Structure 1
Amino acid sequence: MEPDRDVLITDVVLRDGLQDEPTIVAAEDRVRLGRLLLAAGLGSLEIGAFVSTRKVPQMTGTDAVLQVLARDAAAALHTLVFTEFGAQQAVEAGARSVRFVVSATDGHSRANAGVTTDVALDRLAPAAEVLQDAGVRIEASIATAFVCPFDGDTPPAQVASTAKRLVQLGAEVVHLADTIGAAHPGAITRGVMAARDAVPEVPLGLHLHNTYGMASANAWAAFGLGIRRFDAALGGIGGCPFAPGASGNIATDDLVHFFHREGVHTGIDPVKLAEARDLLAAVVGHPLHSALSLVAKPRAAVSVN
């Protein structure tokens, strides 16, 4: 962790935040958002995905966003890949860090990837080889690590076995995702402990959604367990198109505010983060979901031209 940070927050608005938006945000506007997030002090961004743009058209232009931001960013820039072809696209675009996503449950895996968890993991083996040969760093996220919209509560043993397989594929960090925002602190504790026992040598992170208003409580529970990596999306937007009931991510602006009030250093400037939030509201064309976006004083309109 950097000296000015007690936690590392990865803002995922450019991928997870925008992938479920009805409006396709232009690549140049995603670059503008990325630059404002970097200027606010974000040390890590998830900036897009190399996936089928027929299924997820919001990710069109990920290569262009990556290439522009990489020219002036010292921060970690992550892209999502599911397949060998996606890995090849990431390498060709100059990616230095990618994330795999695999569901801990077969129900969500079939909806999201069209195959069971075991098959999805098997499919990642050639992708991992492509990335490792190119010297690209691999992280991984385990979707539905706590609750699945199809299979119900996720057994911690499934989280553990999935984490092991991902580390065997080369993942250097494993993030546990509350994909539909239905977890509570007890479930967070069980999932984190199962993953930690399975892969004690690998740092863990948490990817939270706020469907039932529990995301801050879950983040605090995870912090108490030693978790120091958190995903969040500016304005609290986002969700999984293939997970019924999923709502927005925990908001970056709210999470930063929460941690700062608890004396936890994030390295992020809330004022500059608010500038990025203003631009986000302008480009998506609707109110955001974060608590701070609702209570902040009105600011001058941000041009999207």
Structure 2
Amino acid sequence: MDSFKLIECPRDAMQGLHDFIPTADKIRYLNALLRVGFDTLDFGSFVSPKAIPQLRDTAEVLAGLDLTETRTKLLAIVANVRGAEQAVLFPQIQFLGFPLSVSETFQLRNTNKTIEQAFSEVEAIQDLCQQHGKQLVVYLSMGFGNPYGDPYNPDVVGQFTERLVQRGISIIAPSDTVGSSTPEGIETLFWYLLKTFPDVEFGAHLHSRPEQVAEKVRAALRAGIRRIDGALHGFGGCPMAADDLTGNLPTEQIVLQLKQAGIPLAINRDRLAKALELSAEVLGSRTHGL
């Protein structure tokens, strides 16, 4: 069995917070996460500071990260070519992530572009990644349905995937943007994708209410997924969900499900516990009033 890839997403947890987290606190938190043993850290975003003011200090945060004793790779989210042009200049970053929506309505709301315009951005960003030795990860937003009535089924996701594969993109993560996925839907979609595109590394970026977390993780594992995104305590998620209890999959619960499934994971449990405490300190009071 290939090694399992657990992706930690503090950027997703931080981006929607109103109160600005001091740069020093972000660096302290991210450095703790780098010591846990995650495969990849989704640490920041090169986007307009007007769009996401919380992440306006991504370059400064990156400069403060201690990468000397970690195997964890860094991923930065970009929303357009301009952001990608910034991100590829940093040798510390291995992955760029781009949100491409399966829903036309959400693509317009999220990036002010049509799906076709977003595909053009993907092509240009992929070219930049190849020129600078980076790898592009495409997140298929609204990958498990949408609240707008836009067309959705596994075949639609497959059509998007085919276009991405033709452009040389090999890491694709269907994303449950508003927490609408069900265990059955998760299993159905990933069984179809993994069978149809065996050379693609598919990831699961799921949002969930607390009581549904375990069954969603188990569904992804049953389908054969070996890459899952999480965030400590389940902090973060999409404000479009219109449900305060819908957040990211809690990383600590993903770890528990993997252990119960007998899937080995190179995580330092003591450092994970310390990072959980730090997450509550740095993000908790701003997130859930802890």
Common topology (TM > 0.5):
yes
Tell me the amino acid that sits aligned with residue 89 of structure 1. Answer: Q
Q: Select the residue among 202, 213, 216 that pairs with 1:215.
A: 213
Tell me the amino acid that sits aligned with residue 42 of structure 2. Answer: E
Aligned twin of 2:277:
278
Tell me the amino acid that sits aligned with residue 36 of structure 2. Answer: A
TM-score (norm 1): 0.85
The separation in 2 between residues aligned to 1:12 and 1:124, in whole angstroms, is 21
Matched, 1:8 2:5: yes
Change (3 A) 1:153 1:82: same
Aligned structure 1 segments of 4 or more residues deviating by more than 6 angstroms = none
Q: Describe the superposition over 1:28-81 as per-residue Cα deviations: whole angstroms up to 9, x where unpaired.
A: 222211221122222211101111110111111212323433642331110111
% identity of equivalent residues: 29
Contact 1:17 1:238 in 2 (8 A): yes
Matched, 1:192 2:190: yes
Change (3 A) 1:158 1:203: same
Aligned twin of 2:74:
77
The secondary structure found in structure 1 opposite 2:205 is strand
Q: Describe the superposition over 1:158-183 as per-residue Cα deviations: whole angstroms up to 9, x where unpaired.
A: 21111122233332211111111121
Contact 1:149 1:243 in 2 (8 A): no
The secondary structure found in structure 1 opposite 2:208 is coil
Aligned twin of 2:54:
58
Aligned twin of 1:253:
252
Q: Describe the superposition over 1:204-263 as per-residue Cα deviations: whole angstroms up to 9, x where unpaired.
A: 110111136323212111111211100000111101245544731001112112222333
Aligned twin of 1:89:
86
Matches for 1:78-157 after TM superposition, within 5 Å: 78-94=75-91, 95-151=93-149, 154-157=152-155
Contact 2:234 2:249 in 1 (8 A): yes
The separation in 2 between residues aligned to 1:214 and 1:116, in whole angstroms, is 32
Matches for 1:167-246 after TM superposition, within 5 Å: 167-211=165-209, 213-245=211-243
Structure 1 unaligned runs (5+)? Answer: 295-305
The more displaced of 113-122 and 139-148 is 113-122
Q: Describe the superposition over 1:2-44 as per-residue Cα deviations: whole angstroms up to 9, x where unpaired.
A: 7xxx52110002x111111222222322221122112222221
TM-score (norm 2): 0.89
Contact 1:146 1:183 in 2 (8 A): yes
The secondary structure found in structure 1 opposite 2:89 is helix
The secondary structure found in structure 1 opposite 2:204 is strand
Contact 1:107 1:151 in 2 (8 A): no
The separation in 1 between residues aligned to 2:231 and 2:188, in whole angstroms, is 24
Matches for 1:13-52 after TM superposition, within 5 Å: 13=10, 15-52=11-48
Residue 135 of structure 1: how far off its partner (Å): 1.3
The separation in 2 between residues aligned to 1:165 and 1:82, in whole angstroms, is 19
Contact 1:66 1:77 in 2 (8 A): no
The secondary structure found in structure 2 opposite 1:148 is coil
Change (3 A) 1:193 1:258: closer
Residue 152 of structure 1: how far off its partner (Å): 6.5
The separation in 2 between residues aligned to 1:129 and 1:189, in whole angstroms, is 33
Residue 146 of structure 1: how far off its partner (Å): 0.4
Residue 193 of structure 1: how far off its partner (Å): 3.0
Tell me the amino acid that sits aligned with residue 79 of structure 1. Answer: A
The aligned length equals 286
Residue 112 of structure 1: how far off its partner (Å): 0.9
Contact 1:236 1:288 in 2 (8 A): no
Residue 280 of structure 1: how far off its partner (Å): 1.6
Contact 1:51 1:82 in 2 (8 A): yes
